[in-house]
């Protein structure tokens, strides 16, 4: 009998614990397609709270669950809002809605992109997940990084020309100052493009 009580206790505790985690919220906002900013609470994905890689509740690059301060609850996808954001553990997370063209089907769909760098050079991340055919292995994940160009379009960094340096690529896409960018890129390579962007943004913000 004690084993039964212990099992029931552990089951109830687990349900309450998981429910509390899944329902965790953070102060945030959404900007509607009409340009209105609404403040409220953003429901956080479990993978962020547990620092896991799997989207085991919902996909923050596809959708967002939002509760405004008047207690009304909304579910938005990338077609319905311009951006959303929230503050969690001292960090600000900003997602913008942009069109994405599938390289295979050429279909255009809107997704949310997470901003990684802020300043003159803005880099965004998109993460997708594909179900694994093997039930014993994790889902397959793909991460792509995009740079916001001068026309407000997202350019995949994989499109860099093989004959271009990372400096030439960034200058072409963002019209950044080549002299400052060259100095910021010293000692770095193409794979360090986020660090280069952060250094450049830091320098130009002081000027």
The 10s digit of each residue's pLDDT in 91-142 is: 889 999 998 766 565 677 888 999 999 999 999 998 876 555 555 555 566 7
Q: How far apart are CA 94 and CA 116, in angstroms?
A: 9
Kindly state the helix (H) or strand (E) to which residue 19 belongs, with its residue range: helix 2-22
Q: How does the average pLDDT of the chain come out, rounded?
A: 79
Taking the chain, what is the end-to-end CA distance rounded to the nearest angstrom?
Answer: 73
HSE-CB for 201 with a 13 A CA cutoff: 15
> CB-based contacts of 160: which residues, under 8 Å, 6+ apart?
166, 169, 190
**pLDDT for the residue 105:** 59
Q: Where are the domains of the chain?
A: 1-101, 116-207
**pLDDT for the residue 48:** 47
Q: How far apart are CA 108 and CA 116, in angstroms?
A: 23
Residue of higher predicted confidence among 199 and 130? 199
Residue of higher predicted confidence among 62 and 77? 77
| pTM recorded for the entire structure | 0.76
Q: How far apart are CA 168 and CA 171, in angstroms?
A: 5
What backbone torsions phi and psi does residue 144 show, to the nearest 5 degrees?
Answer: -125, 145
For residue 172, what pLDDT band results from cuts at 50, 70 and 90? very high
Region label for 140, one of left (φ > 0), alpha (ψ between -120 and 50) or beta (otherwise): beta
Pick from 5-9, 43-47, 195-199: least confident: 5-9
Q: Looking at the DSSP assignment, which residues form a beta bridge with residue 77?
A: 63
Q: What would the two tokens of residue 115 be? A: 């901003």
């Amino acid at each position: 009998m004690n084993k039964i009580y212990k099992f029931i206790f552990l089951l109830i505790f687990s349900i309450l614990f998981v429910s509390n985690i899944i329902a965790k919220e953070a102060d945030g906002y959404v900007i509607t397609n009409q340009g209105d900013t609404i403040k409220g609470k953003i429901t956080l994905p479990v993978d962020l709270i547990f620092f896991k890689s799997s989207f085991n509740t919902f996909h923050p690059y596809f959708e967002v669950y939002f509760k405004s301060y008047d207690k009304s609850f909304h579910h938005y996808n990338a077609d319905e809002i311009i951006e959303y954001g929230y503050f969690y553990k001292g960090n600000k997370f900003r997602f913008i809605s942009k069109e994405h063209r599938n390289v295979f089907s050429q279909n255009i769909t809107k997704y949310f992109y997470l901003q990684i760098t802020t300043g003159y050079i803005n880099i965004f991340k998109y993460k997708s997940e594909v179900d694994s055919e093997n039930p014993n292995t994790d889902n397959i994940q793909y991460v792509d990084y995009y740079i916001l160009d001068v026309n407000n379009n997202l350019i995949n960094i994989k499109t860099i020309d093989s004959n271009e340096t990372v400096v030439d690529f960034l200058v072409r896409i963002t019209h950044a100052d080549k002299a400052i960018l060259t100095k910021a890129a010293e000692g770095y390579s193409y794979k360090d493009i986020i660090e280069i962007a952060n250094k450049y943004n830091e320098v130009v913000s002081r000027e």
